[in-house]
Amino acid sequence: MVLMRWFRQVGAVAALCLVALSSGCQSGEPLVPREVYQKVNDDGREHTYDTAWQNIRKLNADIPEGDYTITAEQSLLIASQMERLERGSAGAQRSNAVSSFIEEIAESAVKRSDQENVLVLTSVSVALQESFDAGDFSEARFSALEAHVIARHLSTTP
C-alpha cells in the first residue's frame, strides 16, 4: 500500500513537471506560439471578438467529448484572443504573473483525480464564457489559461 502511494506521488510529480514544461510556464519562455498570437493580432478586433465568442462556445461543447489535447489547444487560442481584446495586442504570455498562475493551477490539477479535474474544467469554461460575455477579458484570459493547464494535464495522464 505504501509502495502504491509512493508510485502515485512520483507519477504526480512527473505529470506536474510535464505540464509545467509543455505549458511553457518558466519565466521568459513563450506560452503561446508565435504563429498563434501573430494570427490573432492580424485579425481585426471585431473578427477576434466574433471568433472568440464562437471558440468559447465550441470549447464548452467539446469538453464532454473528452479530447483534452484539442481542448488545451483551443483554450490557448482563446487566451490569446482575450489578451488581444484586453490589451489591444496578443503576445507570448510569458510574464511572471502568468508563469506563477500556471504553476499554481498545475500543482492543483496534480492533486485532484481526473474526474475532479473534468468538473473543474467544466466550471472554468463556464466562468470563461460568463467573463467574456460580461466584457471582462482579463478574467476570461486567466480562465482560458486555467482551462489550458487542466486540459493539458488531463491529456497527459494515463
List pLDDT tens digits, range 5-37.
434 444 544 444 444 444 444 445 677 888 888
- Global pTM exceeds 0.95: no
Q: Region 143-150: what's the mean pLDDT?
A: 97
Q: Region 120-144: what's the mean pLDDT?
A: 97
> How many Å apart are CA 51 and CA 45, to the nearest integer?
10
Q: Region 83-107: what's the mean pLDDT?
A: 89
- Tell me which long-range contacts 127-134 makes (C-beta under 8 A, separation of at least 24): 128/56, 128/59, 128/75, 128/78, 129/56, 129/57, 129/60, 132/52, 132/53, 132/56, 132/82
User: Within 10 Å of residue 107's Cβ, how many Cβ atoms?
Assistant: 14
> How many Å apart are CA 18 and CA 25, to the nearest integer?
11
Q: What is the pLDDT of residue 142?
A: 96
**Do residues 19 and 153 lie in contact, with contact meaning Cβ atoms separated by under 8 Å?**
yes
Q: Higher pLDDT residue, 99 or 139? A: 139
Q: How confident is the model at residue 43 (pLDDT cuts 50, 70, 90)?
A: confident
